[in-house]
Amino acid sequence: MNIKSRLPEVGTSIFTVMSRMALEHSAINLSQGFPDFPVSEKLIDLIHQKMKEGNNQYAPMAGTPMLRKAIAEVIEKTYQRPTDFETEITITAGGTEAIFATIAAIIGSGDEVILFDPAYDSYDPAIRLNGGVPIHLNLLPPDFAIDWNAVKSKITSRTRMILINTPHNPTGAVLSESDMRILETLAIEHDLIVLSDEVYERIIFENKKHESVLSYPLLKERSIAVFSFGKTFHATGWKVGYAVASEPLTKEIRKAHQFITFSVNTPVQLALAEYLGDPENYLHLGKFYQQKRDFFLSEIKGSSLKPLPCFGSYFQLLSYEGVSKKSDAEMTEWMTKEMKLAPIPVSAFYKDKSDHQLLRFCFAKGEDTLQKSGKILKNI
């Protein structure tokens, strides 16, 4: 067959590659971002209960009303913004589907989307698969701050969307109120839509405030905020997320969503709705993960690798500058095969493969895993 690939240069994702390599070489896997500790027994019991009650058929396309109502209540408590659960919230098969459905609904042939590298690897392909043109701007260590003058210089008559991610994967950077004010001004001035990946909203440290697009009324009207229960409740394999947007944007997102997954599994939605009723189940997540970050950093003291600032997400960047002249991809392979510890090379998150000699480690792990990892890193 003569198959013309729409993503000719795309192979297996770096996450799959590194997880496979870790398995093949019996290495500790700190590459892929998934927790290795258990999900709440209470939440698991709720899912079982909902299944036993017979809630095993299709959910409504937009999501169960019970879950959307619960989310609307959480949004109002968190961001002091009323949200209509009927017209502004859509339950999706994880945050990645929410991002894809949004782009599929809004981006057409030749539309430009500004995004910031290092970036989650689904953004660029989603844009291109829907006929859009990704405009990549590089963020630089150590703070990975957005250069808004550079953003302004890239806005053209074809620019349709700006895609942001805060707290940021893979760097742990977070956007400030000043960033959001500038973004709001640019979006209004140039009639842009903002897609905001906020899946780590609860995982933020040092008493910093998560600056959501939902906190800014004018920005909220032209934004889509994406969230993930997998990140919040340590259950990445359940693939349940949601998109929050104004009614006109939500109408378009649902048009795409209904032909991508149609609906998300029913018993998990109903269990999550009940679980969200107790704020104690999510309010202390930042403190929980800050303790894990701090424990990991304490365990690597004495290593030649140097940590960069991390204010959110569950990833820590370590620099090996001055330790080796290997590329980050070579360093990752060597560390996995020889030292039995698998990270991710940060160049994999840059379109141009910029190599700043940085490796990403996931610290969403139990103390035993982090202790073993620290022992290895102290020998480098």
Pairing assessment for the beta strands 341-342 and 159-165 based on DSSP bridges: unpaired
Q: Where are the chain's structural domains?
A: 14-32+284-377, 57-280
| Residue 16: pLDDT over 90 | no
Q: 266 Cβ partners below 8 Å, 6+ apart?
A: 50, 55, 56, 57, 58, 59, 64
Q: Can you give the pTM of this predicted structure?
A: 0.96
**Could you report the per-residue pLDDT of 307-331, keeping only the tens digit for each?**
999 999 999 999 999 999 999 999 9
Query: Nearest-CA neighbor of 272 among 37, 138, 94?
Result: 94
- Can you read off the two tokens belonging to residue 51? 């299944």
**Could you report the per-residue pLDDT of 123-177, keeping only the tens digit for each?**
999 999 999 999 999 999 999 999 999 999 999 999 999 999 999 999 999 999 9
Using an 8 Å Cβ cutoff, are 103 and 193 in contact?
no
Q: 129 Cβ partners below 8 Å, 6+ apart?
A: 6, 7
The pLDDT of residue 15 is 85
The pLDDT of residue 324 is 96
**What is the Cβ-side half-sphere exposure of residue 204, based on CA atoms within 13 angstroms?**
20
**C-alpha Rg value of the chain to the nearest Å:** 21
- The per-residue pLDDT of the chain, averaged, comes to 96
Work out the pLDDT band at 290, boundaries 50, 70, 90.
very high
Residue 273 CA to residue 85 CA, distance in Å, equals 13
Work out the pLDDT band at 363, boundaries 50, 70, 90.
very high
Q: Any idea which fold 57-280 has?
A: Aspartate Aminotransferase; domain 2 (3.40.640)
Work out the pLDDT band at 191, boundaries 50, 70, 90.
very high
Read off the amino acid at residue 72. A
| Residue 367: pLDDT over 90 | yes
| Residue 32: pLDDT over 90 | no
**Could you report the per-residue pLDDT of 228-280, keeping only the tens digit for each?**
999 999 999 999 999 999 999 999 999 999 999 999 999 999 999 999 999 99
14-32+284-377 classified as CATH 1.10.443.10: no
Residue 364 CA to residue 292 CA, distance in Å, equals 7
